[in-house]
């Protein structure tokens, strides 16, 4: 009898975590490595948020919390949804988890039975299909490539829906592509979903505040209120508030789903860390002006990276509208050979050879379900990005037919 569970046969390790770890190991060995794999803002958590955490400790807010979150945070989440998204979620229709991952995981755990299908546009965040698989569901991938700016069309969504479809997993702005859907593009998708009453929407809005130029963010339940009763709107404080290590995610949704997720979390982790929750109260209720300042910095970095990558031989890098990633195609370099004689057969070969030759760590696109591409996180300094892009240009220029 096997000791480990059969479900592990269906799950792959996170490619983004693996790249970050490899970069750390090479750095420890003395290699000059620029790691562009992690999706983590390089800004510090704002002082007012840190001070709120210190004050919570001083007040003795160090005990177990209610499983679904302290009342003050659920109230802040309810107000945030109303203020920024025009969504009326009562505090009891919200839930707080240990990061966005737990919110997603608990939603799938609470709803998926063997054979249930979850539609996931590709490219996708690496954890989506693995979560679905662990929870017994079947991921259904629908390609959204360069020709549609990495955005799913209504026709492709319609074609993917079957009687077994339970969820449509929507992420805008997207990890890994940075693609963001306009109100009109979301409406085209929600029009399809209205015709299929068995399909729920799980909207991952974690990059909501990181959109550029005159782009305006919208979320599906906001665009189509008739879908609100079968939508879970997920968000968190990690990206916009530079609070990745605080581990706070949250969601709003129909009460019966929230209660089911609450029950699962009660047997799993119970409430998120008390101090982190009080910090998140301040994040959502406190000053928001730094978000626009950070966004301007990210936009400058995006423009730098897109410009330099498009000057690299054989690369094509579209300009994303959100998040802090670019997702260039290396199709023009497949079949080329490195100066050492190694042939580039795939995007995985490309990123591996790039790391060995130039010490630039990026994530291969096939890990996100769509290649030949690779993902760069530009959540680091302009100086490092400029150096990394110069190295990528040099590497691409070194490849031969």
Boundary-marking domain end, from 223, 254, 285: 285
Task: Tell me what pLDDT residue 137 has.
Answer: 97
Domain of 24, CATH number, reads 3.90.1150.10
Q: Tell me if 22 is assigned to some domain.
A: yes
In a domain, 53, yes or no: no
Question: CA 257, 261, 265: angle at the middle one, nearest 5?
Answer: 170
Same domain membership, residue 278 and residue 164: yes
**Claim to verify: residue 391 and residue 270 sit in the same structural domain:** no
pLDDT band (50, 70, 90) for residue 360: very high
227 and 179 housed in the same domain: yes
Whether 17 shows a pLDDT value over 90: the answer reads no
Lowest-pLDDT choice from 12-26, 42-56, 92-106, 328-342: 12-26
Q: What is the pLDDT of residues 156-210, one digit of tens each?
A: 999 999 999 999 999 999 999 999 999 999 999 999 999 999 999 999 999 999 9
Expressed as residue numbers, the domain containing 360 is 6-44+290-398
Q: Mean pLDDT across the stretch 281-302?
A: 98
pTM, two decimals, is 0.95
Same domain, 82 and 16: no
Residues 247 and 324 in one domain: no
d(CA 340, CA 352): 13
The structure tokens listed for 355 are 């790391």
Clarify whether residues 344 and 383 are in a common domain: yes
User: 345: how many CB neighbours lie within 10 A of its CB?
Assistant: 12
pLDDT at residue 16 greater than cutoff 80: no
Residues 279 and 294 both lie in one domain? no
- Asked if the structure places residue 112 within a domain, the reply is yes
Q: Is residue 160 domain-shared with residue 245, that is, in the same domain? A: yes
What CATH code is carried by the domain that includes residue 99? 3.40.640.10
Mean per-residue pLDDT, 325-352: 96
Q: Does the pLDDT of residue 20 top 80, yes or no? A: no
Q: What is the per-residue pLDDT for 26?
A: 82
Q: 61: pLDDT confidence band, cut at 50, 70 and 90?
A: very high
- Do 104 and 216 reside in the same domain of the chain? yes
Last residue of a domain, one of 250, 285, 320: 285
> Do 155 and 129 share a structural domain?
yes
Q: Which pLDDT score is estimated for 183?
A: 98
Quote the CA–CA distance of 224 and 302 in Å, as a whole number: 31
**Considering the domain boundaries, does residue 51 fall inside one?**
no
pLDDT of residue 306: 98
- Within a domain: residue 55? no
Note the pLDDT tens digit of each residue in 69-113: 999 999 999 999 999 999 999 999 999 999 999 999 999 999 999
User: Are 251 and 201 within one domain?
Assistant: yes
Last residue of a domain, one of 285, 312, 338: 285
* DSSP for residue 78: H
d(CA 105, CA 95): 13
pLDDT at 155: 98
Number of domains the chain is built from: 2
């Amino acid at each position: 009898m096997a000791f480990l569970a059969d479900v592990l046969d269906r799950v792959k390790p996170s490619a983004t975590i693996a790249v970050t770890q490899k970069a750390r190991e090479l750095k420890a060995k003395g290699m000059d490595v620029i790691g562009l794999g992690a999706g983590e803002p390089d800004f510090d958590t704002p002082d007012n948020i840190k001070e709120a955490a210190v004050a919570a400790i001083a007040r003795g807010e160090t005990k177990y919390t209610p499983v679904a979150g302290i009342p003050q945070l659920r109230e802040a989440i309810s107000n945030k949804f109303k203020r920024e998204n025009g969504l009326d979620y009562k505090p009891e229709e919200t839930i707080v988890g240990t990061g966005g991952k737990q919110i997603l995981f608990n939603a799938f755990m609470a709803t998926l039975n063997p054979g249930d299908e979850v539609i996931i546009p590709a490219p996708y965040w690496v954890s989506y299909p693995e979560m679905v698989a662990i929870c017994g569901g079947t991921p259904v991938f629908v390609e959204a490539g360069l020709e549609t700016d990495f955005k799913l069309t209504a026709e492709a969504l319609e074609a993917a829906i079957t009687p077994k479809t339970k969820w449509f997993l929507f992420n805008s702005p997207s990890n890994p592509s940075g693609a963001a859907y306009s109100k009109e593009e979301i409406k085209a998708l929600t029009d399809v979903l209205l015709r299929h009453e068995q399909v729920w929407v799980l909207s991952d809005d974690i990059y909501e505040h990181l959109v550029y130029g005159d782009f305006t963010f919208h979320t599906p339940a906001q665009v189509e209120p008739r879908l609100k009763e079968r939508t879970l709107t997920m968000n968190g404080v990690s990206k916009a508030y530079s609070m990745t290590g605080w581990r706070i995610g949250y969601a709003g949704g129909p009460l019966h789903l929230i209660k089911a997720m609450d029950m699962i979390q009660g047997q799993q982790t119970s409430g998120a860390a008390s101090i982190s929750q009080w910090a998140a109260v301040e994040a959502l209720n406190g000053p928001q002006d730094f978000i626009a300042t950070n966004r301007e910095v990210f936009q400058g970095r995006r423009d730098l990276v897109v410009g330099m990558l498009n000057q690299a031989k054989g690369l094509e890098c579209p300009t994303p509208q959100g998040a802090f990633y670019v997702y260039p195609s290396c199709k023009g370099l497949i079949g080329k050979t490195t100066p050492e004689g190694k042939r580039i057969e795939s995007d995985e070969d490309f990123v591996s050879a790039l790391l060995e030759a130039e010490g630039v760590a990026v994530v291969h696109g096939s890990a996100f379900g769509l290649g030949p591409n690779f993902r760069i996180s530009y959540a680091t300094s302009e100086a490092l990005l400029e150096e990394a892009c110069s190295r990528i240009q040099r590497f691409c220029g070194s490849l031969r037919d």
